[in-house]
Amino acid sequence: MQDTSFELGGKKYKSRLIVGTGKYRDFAETRAAVEESGAEIVTVAVRRVNITDRGKENLLDYLDPKRYQILPNTAGCFTAEEAIRTCRLAREVGVGELVKLEVIGDQQTLFPDVAATLEAARVLVKEGFKVMPYVTDDPVTCLRLQEIGCVAVMPLAAPIGSGLGIRNPFNLAIIIEQAKVPVIVDAGVGTASDAAEAMELGCDGVLMNTAIAGAKDPLAMARAMKLAIEAGRLAYRAGRIERKLYATASSPLTGLIG
């Protein structure tokens, strides 16, 4: 069954899995996990360079920007102003206009500050950024972000790093139904079935970091996630059966021995 291609910010991708690069043992493990996952888009954080350790390797030496679409994030930003500044700096590194916008509203839950996210998105879209906002699983906010001109909306499944899976599939279903831009579940996925569930609901992709990096065997989990995304997508396109309360026999009721 030939799938439609996944288009994001004017570029086509085969993989619908976007992976983060945080929490790995070292850059070599990061690269190996990214390769196993089959992801073509990888998120990175924007931070001050280490002045004291000048021999330190750079992440981009392990993830070639010619091969991977680098997606800088604004993780750790608590105001629209900080997020905008971070995006402007990230763009100047020279890997393109695609940015993952996240403006955090609360340290403990890492839930987004929706008002600040909308404010930052407006400015960034005007400045030519291709904005992918991390946002609460709220259909109205996702609509607003789409109207502003974001190239995707990225509702959370559950709090960042929680591994709780999809806590509100019904809201996600509404967001997917309303969206004219790709819907990417970002944050909260714990294991392969969570990723498959997101895809079965009709999401266009899933973004994850901790579920892979925090697994006992990150490389095996990266592969599991790749397969889950593909399986979930295929099941969505295949069209699942209706849920029924009672049994329907799979074997013929005629020709029984007796």
Partner 1 sequence: MPGSIETSITLNGDPYPLDADTPLTSLLERLNMRRGRVAVEINREIVPKADYDATIVRVGDHVEIINFVGGG
- Binding residues (CB under 8 A) for partner 1: these are 20-24, 27, 30, 43-49, 51, 54-55, 58-60, 70, 72-73, 75, 88-94, 160, 187, 207-210
72 or 133: CB nearest partner 1:
72
Tell me the closest approach of the beta carbon of residue 240 to partner 1, in angstroms.
30
Specify the DSSP class assigned to residue 254.
S
Continuous H helices in 127-217: 139-148, 169-178, 192-201, 210-213
Specify the DSSP class assigned to residue 207.
E
Known active-site residue 100? yes
Dist CA 100 CA 216 (whole Å): 27
Dist CA 7 CA 29 (whole Å): 28
Name which of 180, 183, 162, 168 is nearest 236 in CA terms.
183
| C-alpha distances out from residue 23 to 66, 213, 254, Å | 23, 6, 59
Dist CA 77 CA 204 (whole Å): 26
Dist CA 232 CA 14 (whole Å): 15
75 or 172: CB nearest partner 1:
75
| C-alpha distances out from residue 82 to 76, 119, 201, Å | 9, 12, 34
Tell me the closest approach of the beta carbon of residue 63 to partner 1, in angstroms.
9
Tell me the closest approach of the beta carbon of residue 123 to partner 1, in angstroms.
15
Dist CA 112 CA 101 (whole Å): 10
Tell me the closest approach of the beta carbon of residue 154 to partner 1, in angstroms.
12
148 or 221: CB nearest partner 1:
221
Tell me the closest approach of the beta carbon of residue 204 to partner 1, in angstroms.
19
HSE-CB for 124 with a 13 A CA cutoff: 36
Structure tokens at 180: 């004219």
202 or 214: CB nearest partner 1:
214
63 or 121: CB nearest partner 1:
63
* Annotated catalytic residue, options 11, 12, 56, 100: 100
Catalytic center residues: 100
